[in-house]
A = this chain, B = another copy of it.
Amino acid sequence: MIAMSTRARSANPPSPSVIYPRDEQDLMARIGTRTSFARDDEIYGQAEVADLIYQVVSGAVRTSRLMSDGRRQVGDFYYQGELFGMEPGQEHVFSAEAVADTVVLIVKRSVAHEASGGMLEQLVGGAARRELQRAHEHVLILGRKTACEKVASLLMNIADRSHYESVELPMGRQDMADYLGLTIETVSRMLTQLQVSAVVEFAGLRSFQVKNRQALSLLTQ
């Protein structure tokens, strides 16, 4: 289950402390346990007790939910520096897996409560609020956007987090499809369409550049 990490990668990108408050970084790094997961490893499972808090150090994570007949819905993607695993109930409704080789900091909620003097509670609270905001955005994407707008929204979202011209897509097409409520083929067609219309340009399957930001923004509605 637990695999070797590609920790070397974390040397290149700018320090995540640029985006997230220093405290958050420090606290999790100080009291958290570093663990590595290989591509598609499960980090936690559906119906597991939700007592741990996680932070992505490198790589990316998806949460997902499986229906009895195999249909899958991806809840969200988590990137470098982001907290995940805080679910409202006692048990996880979603499972979490590593999208790519990933390193994660893990903190036991009950333990951390004392060790952090309540500071962790604040971090978790903030992350939970962001969580709700993103879920609401996701609802809009799923409920009222066309396939093209859905794909554009996801690309825009990822591009907005990137500090580089060239944007890395950590997830494969199936993950994108399951996040957007589409099939893999439709995602592929829309990506082609966006590239043909010179909105984005792909250099390989998992790396693209935004060529026309305004057009992309319009497509996200």
Interface residue stretch chosen among A36-44, A112-120, A123-131, A165-173: A123-131
List of B residues within 8 angstroms of A77 by Cβ: none
A84 to B71 CA separation, bound complex (whole angstroms): 31
- Please give the number of chain A residues whose Cβ is less than 8 angstroms from any Cβ of chain B in the complex: 32
Q: Is A67 an interface residue (CB 8 A)?
A: yes
Nearest chain B residue, comparing its CB with the CB of A88? B129
Q: How many identical subunits does the complex contain?
A: 2
The 0/1 profile, CB within 8 Å of B marked 1, for residues 191-218 of chain A is 0000000000000000000000000000
The 0/1 profile, CB within 8 Å of B marked 1, for residues 113-155 of chain A is 0000000000000001111110110111011100000000000
The reply to whether A132 and B73 contact each other, CB–CB distance below 8 Å, is no
User: A-side interface residues toward B, CB under 8 Å?
Assistant: 65, 67-69, 71-73, 75, 87-89, 93-94, 128-133, 135-136, 138-140, 142-144, 178-181, 221
The reply to whether A221 and B68 contact each other, CB–CB distance below 8 Å, is yes
List of B residues within 8 angstroms of A128 by Cβ: 128-129, 132
List of B residues within 8 angstroms of A139 by Cβ: 73, 75, 135, 138-139, 142
Residue of B73, B129, B138, B144 near A72 (CB, 8 A) is B144
Residue of B73, B87, B88, B93 near A143 (CB, 8 A) is B73
Residue of B71, B93, B131, B138 near A144 (CB, 8 A) is B71
The 7 A-B pairs of least Cβ separation, nearest first, read A143-B181, A88-B129, A142-B142, A135-B135, A88-B133, A71-B144, A73-B143
